[in-house]
Amino acid sequence: MTQSGRAPALELMLDPNRDQTRVVRAAVRSVFLDALPAVTLQDLLTIVSELVSNAQNYGPGLPFRVSVDMDEDGRPGGEVQDFGRSAFAMPDHDGEPEGGLGLQIVDALAEEWGISGHDGLVWFRARRAEEGLEA
């Protein structure tokens, strides 16, 4: 179950290797291609890619979970959980970024997102098409 309390349309448990971003993008695209406008799908793919990349690069190296669903308003969202024990923080990039811009990209594209506890879970809800950027 996701934060929304619904069973996800897509749920994957993945080994933390570099090939997973491509795998997750293909799975998300296949499930949501006909259900979402192109701009919303692109935002969803970018958000999920950034969170998967963070789980791979900064997580504890354990298998991680990705789940994606849609709410009753047609707004996609989900979770990426790497089961790490460390606290998250969005980096403050005054100059050259040291650790990447992943969470800042998520912050820019998601309607809302957050960190749940200290178990490596990041949840998000993307904008609906009419709230997204115009193509």
Q: Measured between alpha carbons, how far is residue 63 from residues 1, 27, 112 in Å?
A: 18, 17, 25
How much is the average pLDDT of 71-92?
A: 79
Token output for 92: 């403050």
Contact 9, 26 (CB under 8 A): no
Burial of 132: CB neighbours in 10 Å, binned 0-12, 13-18, 19+? buried
Does the predicted TM-score (pTM) go above 0.85? no
Size (the chain), residues: 135
For residues 15 and 22, what is the distance between their CA atoms, to the nearest angstrom?
A: 13
**5 has a pLDDT exceeding 90:** no
Nearest residue to 51 via CA among 85, 9, 101? 101
How much is the average pLDDT of 88-104?
A: 63
**133 has a pLDDT exceeding 70:** no
Q: Helices 38-58 and 102-109, interaxial angle, to 10°? A: 150
127's CB contacts (< 8 A; 6+ apart) are: 40, 43, 75, 109, 110, 111
Q: Which domains does the chain have, with CATH numbers?
A: 10-131 (3.30.565.10)
Tens-digit pLDDT profile for residues 6-56: 556 999 999 987 779 999 999 999 999 999 999 999 999 999 999 999 999
Nearest residue to 126 via CA among 34, 53, 48, 52? 48
| pLDDT reported for residue 93 | 52
Q: In what side-by-side order are the strands of the sheet with 76-81?
A: 10-14, 64-70, 76-81, 121-126, 110-116
Q: What is the mean pLDDT of the chain?
A: 83
**97 has a pLDDT exceeding 70:** no
